[in-house]
Structure 1
């Protein structure tokens, strides 16, 4: 009889081979159908988990893991699948029918996750179906081998079972890795991105020297592309071929419009300095970045389609099915809401939305910053919802006034005497009028503001603490926006409409 230990190893082998087979077939499926569908069971299950994530759990994950949230999800899925497969294998060693039946049920969950993805259809479950059939057959064969060792072999037969199961597990893991690597290659899209010649914008922007700090550790005015935060629901960065990309304007319009990437590049582009902020950013957090964006104003495309008077929202859709609901006035007024094709003078990196994304000043990204955008549906808030709204987040998402201390860092040790305190503040589309710093419970002191080339981007500030005395001290910062509203002291978590409160750091002053 197969022991539970042997059954557990057989279950691991069967699970690995199931996923390895499905992932390899999924990669071939994607290439055969030019990227249609999402047949990878691993990605589909992970995406389904993200879809079902409540606001509080998403908030916790982003706060805990930051931009490594997808890595954490992958590790968690691997551990969970390992335990499930081992447990089902051990169960099958004593209750074969029940164990094999539950193994098939787990496979059905994967199939359901695949076919319910926004860009998938029933046939996209084929790789998963084949993988489950292969894995179920293999589990049965391994259990048979353990249950009926040959009399001549005795213990050697069981050792062969363990070796075979171990080898198959490794083979399955290799298949999973190979399938993921093949399906994410995206060489054609990457080559196309590198070869793109961007049009020269009719309005170019430069960052004035007075907006940039020369203080070490102070925030850079422009965030480098490879340092810009990335928070989205895509477990695999989409690789979109610009030659096949299309953007459609549908819904409450006088005429539907469709534009290609080449046509978009022929329009009159402008540049804009815009700071983007994730709604999950905590007080003092770094899920915020500023860049020089280039693109075509969204209002001009919407004007071409002819927005009907009753419309109050645009539902933008990503190539992977993600959606954001944006108030229509934010896309049709005079702010620099762009169909962006470039970031800091370069074509958009894949992880930041290549070939085209939305950039909308003044709104958190979950209601505006759709990457890999493929559709703008002109609609109403009472008829449609963006991805995160039914999951507990507010529908409108205006960015709250915020400020942050970058220098000195929390828990830093500084020398007594004159100490420079510096940081950044933002209130997109309103601008920053003032920043104040408080030491312990003393009066608030005005900080020096660096230049503000636009109200749509953050503003750097600095203040000199003239006489820092030895001991432990608390530094606080607050900002006032361009409308004269002082940043609130009320502490609020990111959910459902953005964090609030004053950023506070504690420092130890040493020396005399």
Structure 2
């Protein structure tokens, strides 16, 4: 073979990438007719989330916060492009082997799809369709880019332009599929049910619950700004007309409710602050909302709890499970099977159509989204998703406080009296907040002014006027005391295995 006739690997690498993109694009388009986990990237990413060690999850959330899934998608795309590019380069000399590798990637993805909890055998069809389209296309493109495979330079250029157009078309098709999914969900939500009127409404939120200080978060977190941390790489598509909630296990009578039947149950609204166990000290993985739902204790009373039960295993449509202590669902707190959030049906990303809301417990043991099942059981007999990954079985929320204003390293300008304002948020669900104190540098603790406490299950905002703020660099530290008199510990602990602890401290500069 002369130098002129040798394959050019980078042309072949581009062909490999384009074939890989076509596989994903076709699968994404076909997946519109199936579950959200039928898309190969979603299934493979979900499988990756399931097998990674908890410390990797904590690292990702610590670095990227609620953008962790976006980063995972970007990383997967990067790795996939590299793999398909290398496979295309291999195909410059071994096209049959490259075709086999491409088929193997598709087969692997199809197998992963079948392992997901919310998929059936039919959900493998999108990946199979994408593979059937990509493998012969790869062979054709590898032939087209081989020198000597076309009679003229003009024909070769046309082949390369065609490959480029295919790549652009594949990307556009995948984007269109994502857009169709989003618009279809919006259309579905536009024709949604009307939330039922509660039989008991949450008490009104007084104006002074919100601290009037620029930069403070709103007392009630808007739905669009509420943090989202879960194991679902793609939000499950749940049809409320076929949705059911099954309550079974150590009960006298099993109960299955349709969505229509659930909406007919007596409902209440309650203000509840939720917090993620992965929230670092001073972090923003907490939110306060007004929830509408059926008290869980009412449903459990109906089925009758048998002796020996001490846990309820809640299950999501995507297979996620949470182990909630039975007493948290049967005592006086208002744990809910929720259908509404801040006066609207649950947003899709926050569990539409039904989720769990349990005051006083971290979400990993209580806040199951896309809820389908409640199993009354024992901790000795069943384990939940995160319990098998080193996290504690019970997750009571620890006392937490943070400084929201100013942000760390922010410069402050004193007012005419030489004072600056600080503000923040504190929470200790099921106990409430009795006091918040702030320390400047290594000085004495100063008691902050508290906004109105709405309930013991909601956060409290605070503010402090720092008189005679001296110019220069300083530190500010905050701690809270709960309604039972317990002072927030200064002992530093990471999120795993049962929540972070320690005092939030920031650096500030007074000009």
Q: TM-score interval w.r.t. the shorter chain?
A: over 0.9
Is the Cα contact below 8 Å between 2:145 and 2:160 reproduced in 1? Answer: no
* Bigger shift: residues 173-182 or 430-439: 173-182
Which residue pairs with 1:506 in the alignment? 507
For residues 145 and 207 of structure 2, the distance between their equivalents in structure 1, rounded to whole angstroms, comes to 74
User: Secondary structure in 2 aligned to 1:433?
Assistant: strand
Per the TM alignment, residue 266 of structure 1 is displaced from its structure 2 partner at its CA by: 2.0
User: Under a length normalisation based on structure 1, what TM-score does the superposition of the two structures give?
Assistant: 0.93
Which residue pairs with 1:175 in the alignment? 173
Query: Where do 1:392-403 residues align within 5 Å?
Result: 392-403=390-401
For residues 435 and 57 of structure 2, the distance between their equivalents in structure 1, rounded to whole angstroms, comes to 33
Q: 1:384 aligns with which of 360, 375, 382?
A: 382
Which runs of 5 or more residues in structure 2 are unaligned?
A: 1-5
User: Secondary structure in 1 aligned to 2:484?
Assistant: coil
For residues 151 and 175 of structure 1, the distance between their equivalents in structure 2, rounded to whole angstroms, comes to 29
Q: 2:305 aligns with which of 296, 299, 307?
A: 307
For residues 314 and 452 of structure 1, the distance between their equivalents in structure 2, rounded to whole angstroms, comes to 30
Is the Cα contact below 8 Å between 1:189 and 1:241 reproduced in 2? Answer: no
Which residue pairs with 1:243 in the alignment? 241
* Bigger shift: residues 198-207 or 399-408: 198-207
Which residue pairs with 1:494 in the alignment? 495
For residues 371 and 394 of structure 1, the distance between their equivalents in structure 2, rounded to whole angstroms, comes to 20
Per the TM alignment, residue 188 of structure 1 is displaced from its structure 2 partner at its CA by: 5.6
Which residue pairs with 1:118 in the alignment? 117
1:317 matched to 2:315? The reply is: yes
Inter-CA distance 188–315: structure 2 relative to 1 (3 Å threshold): farther
Which residue pairs with 2:3 in the alignment? none
For residues 150 and 483 of structure 1, the distance between their equivalents in structure 2, rounded to whole angstroms, comes to 81
Q: 1:331 aligns with which of 312, 329, 332?
A: 329
Query: Where do 1:14-413 residues align within 5 Å?
Result: 14-28=19-33, 30=34, 35=35, 38-147=37-146, 149-150=148-149, 152-153=151-152, 155-184=153-182, 185-187=184-186, 189-193=188-192, 195-413=193-411
Task: Report Cα offsets for 1:204-255 as digits up to 9, x if no partner.
Answer: 3211233222222223221112211111222222343323221110211111
Which residue pairs with 2:18 in the alignment? 13
Is the Cα contact below 8 Å between 1:9 and 1:162 reproduced in 2? Answer: no
Is the Cα contact below 8 Å between 2:150 and 2:156 reproduced in 1? Answer: no
For residues 70 and 231 of structure 1, the distance between their equivalents in structure 2, rounded to whole angstroms, comes to 9
User: Secondary structure in 2 aligned to 1:341?
Assistant: strand
Inter-CA distance 483–94: structure 2 relative to 1 (3 Å threshold): same
Aligned length: 502
Is the Cα contact below 8 Å between 1:115 and 1:122 reproduced in 2? Answer: yes
Which residue pairs with 1:429 in the alignment? 430
User: Secondary structure in 1 aligned to 2:129?
Assistant: helix
Is the Cα contact below 8 Å between 2:492 and 2:500 reproduced in 1? Answer: yes
Which residue pairs with 2:7 in the alignment? 2
Inter-CA distance 463–187: structure 2 relative to 1 (3 Å threshold): closer
Task: Report Cα offsets for 1:114-154 as digits up to 9, x if no partner.
Answer: 0000011233212212221221111112223334735732x
Inter-CA distance 84–306: structure 2 relative to 1 (3 Å threshold): same
Is the Cα contact below 8 Å between 1:362 and 1:429 reproduced in 2? Answer: yes
What is the Cα-based RMSD across aligned positions, in Å? 1.9
